[in-house]
Structure 1
Amino acid sequence: MEEDAFRAFFERHHAELARFAWLLIGERGAAEDIAADAMLAVWRQWDQARRARSQIAYARGIVANLAKSRIRAAVRERRRNMLFWQRPGEVEEGPDTAAVVDVRAALARLPLRRRTCVVLRHSLGLSEKETAEALGISVGTVKSLTSRGLADLRRVLGPPPQGPGPTRNGVPS
């Protein structure tokens, strides 16, 4: 009975969790690993997950935490590599803003909590309440992080392309 309930949960939500992880991490293989690890964690804690107000929110929280751990490990590794490969007195160049043209690259630049809120709200279409439940934070924090994340994305991506705007009495406004 428990196995059937978990199997149904897995089949219904695994692809969504993998997509969420991919939007956070940006690497398909790593995202699939995170989704699989999250499902394993949910299975191991199935009694607790079943008692949660929302099983999918519980699983999303696990994905977010696993992604955070993976990102932190990658940052530590990059720092070690930079220290090893950087010559004394060599100055590191700033980000190549011309290369930051797509949303995925812009998302990668956001702090993880902002990125997570933006992805849950605007890519997965969760409500503020669902996002708060998934991340174990308040609705107000979700609103704040999402707003800041969207502002950061606008800054990185620049203004939207100008096209024919709305007209008033036949005259573009």
Structure 2
Amino acid sequence: MQAEQEAQFQEFVRARWSHLVRTAYLLTGDAHHAEDLTQTALAKAYRSWRRVVRADNPEAYVRRMLVSCNSDRFRKRRVSEALTAVPPEVVGGDQGYTEVDERSALFGALAQLPPRQRAVVVMRYWEDLSEAEVAEVLGCSAGTVKSQASKGLAKLRTYPGLARMTPAGQGGSR
């Protein structure tokens, strides 16, 4: 890789690292897996950086690599650990911890979704991508995105930990 491309890649990583790790965390439900997944996707992006920067949106290209690497985790081998609905640490009921409680409940609920539904929900509602952008990232049709989002949201609505949350705009926090 030429020095100029090397510098471009390093700048991209510095600018987008935390965002990519956060997305990976939402896909995997585990901070360590999220960092490993992000590193794997960025290693692949590094090897093909010329192609990545020629894309209309390099971030979307790398995000797609991230989702593909996450899917590969399940194809290559069975994941030995089970994602749980309740995090092992229980946060106290103090008012200052409400947002942490809600995020923990949301992360637990996301962990219960099948990988494809989780990817759609994360990309569509956390990353705030359009249906067309999610379809492009996941390599499927917009109709598939709509149906997977609908199924995923329906499952999230039945998750007990989310039932106590107040919808945004009605006095609760996001």
- Name the CA shift for 1:23/1:162 in 2 (closer, same or farther; >3 Å): closer
Which of structures 1 and 2 has the bigger CA Rg?
1
| 7, 12, 15: which one aligns with 1:9 | 12
Q: CA deviation at 1:114?
A: 0.6
Deviates more, 1:63-72 or 1:131-140: 63-72
- 1:25 corresponding residue in structure 2: 28
Instruction: For residues 74-105 of structure 1, give each alpha carbon's deviation from its aligned partner in whole angstroms, at most 9, with x where no partner exists.
Output: 635469xxxxxxxxxxxxxxxx98x5981212
Instruction: Identify which of 103, 108, 112 aligns with 1:105.
Output: 108
Output the TM-score relative to the length of structure 1. 0.72
Q: What is the TM-score when the length of structure 2 is the normalising length?
A: 0.72
Structure 1 segment 115-134 matched on structure 2, within 5 A = 115-134=118-137
Percent of pairs identical after alignment? 36
In 2, distance between residues paired with 1:162 and 1:145? 23
Question: Against the structure 1 CA distance between its residues 119 and 76, is the aligned structure 2 distance closer, same or farther, given a 3 Å change threshold?
Answer: closer
Give the unaligned 5+ runs of structure 1.
Answer: 80-95, 164-173
Task: Report the counterpart of residue 52 of structure 2 in structure 1.
Answer: 49
Identify unmatched segments of 5+ residues in structure 2: 88-103, 167-174
Matches within 5 A, 1:90-101: 99=86
Deviates more, 1:31-40 or 1:4-13: 4-13
Deviations 1:13-41 (A, max 9, x none): 11111111111111111111111111111
Alignment check: 8 A CA contact 1:18 1:31 kept: yes
Could you say which residue in structure 1 is the equivalent of 2:71?
68
Q: Aligned with 1:75: secondary structure?
A: coil
Tell me which residue corresponds to 1:89: none
Q: CA RMSD in A?
A: 2.7
What SS does the aligned partner of 2:129 have? coil
Contact 2:73 2:79 in 1 (8 A): no
Residues 53/108 of structure 1: CA separation in 2 closer, same or farther (3 Å cut): same
CA distance in 2, matches of 1:61, 1:148: 22
